[in-house]
């Protein structure tokens, strides 16, 4: 069985290419990972963007609430809560 460069990988065929004989994927020489979207379908990319965005907004809200609570009543936070807020 002959191993060859298959999609989504990109074969490097020209000897003048800077990566010729310098890259290999698995045991296949001159086979490179593409620069754009090697692992995700458009639907998976859309879902990943939504999921990461959702969690980043939730984390921002949680952090903002914690910092606002600290700024409203700083004396309430003592050790070990105060050093954690400063971090």
Tens digits of residue pLDDT in 12-44? 989 898 888 888 888 888 999 887 766 778 898
Pair 35, 47 in one domain:
no
Same domain, yes or no: 33 and 50: no
pLDDT at 73: 84
Which two tokens mark 24? 């290999």
Task: Please state the pTM of the whole predicted model.
Answer: 0.53
When pLDDT is cut at 50, 70 and 90, the band that residue 5 belongs to is confident
Which residue segment(s) compose the domain that 24 sits in? 1-39
34 shares its domain with 52 = no
Nearest alpha carbon to residue 12 among 28, 26, 32, 27: 32
Pairwise CA distance, residues 3 & 32, whole Å = 14
Co-location of 47 and 34 in the same domain: no
Both 48 and 24 in a single domain? no
Question: How many domains is the chain built from?
Answer: 2
Do 35 and 46 reside in the same domain of the chain?
no
73 and 46 in a single domain? The answer is yes
């Amino acid at each position: 069985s002959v191993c060859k460069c298959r999609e989504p990988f990109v074969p490097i065929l020209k000897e003048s290419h800077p990566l010729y004989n310098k890259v290999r994927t698995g045991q296949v020489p001159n086979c490179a990972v593409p620069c754009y979207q090697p692992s995700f379908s458009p639907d998976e990319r859309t879902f990943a963007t939504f999921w990461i965005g959702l969690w980043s907004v939730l984390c921002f809200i949680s952090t903002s609430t914690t910092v606002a609570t600290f700024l409203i009543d700083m004396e309430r936070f003592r050790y070990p809560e105060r050093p954690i807020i400063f971090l």
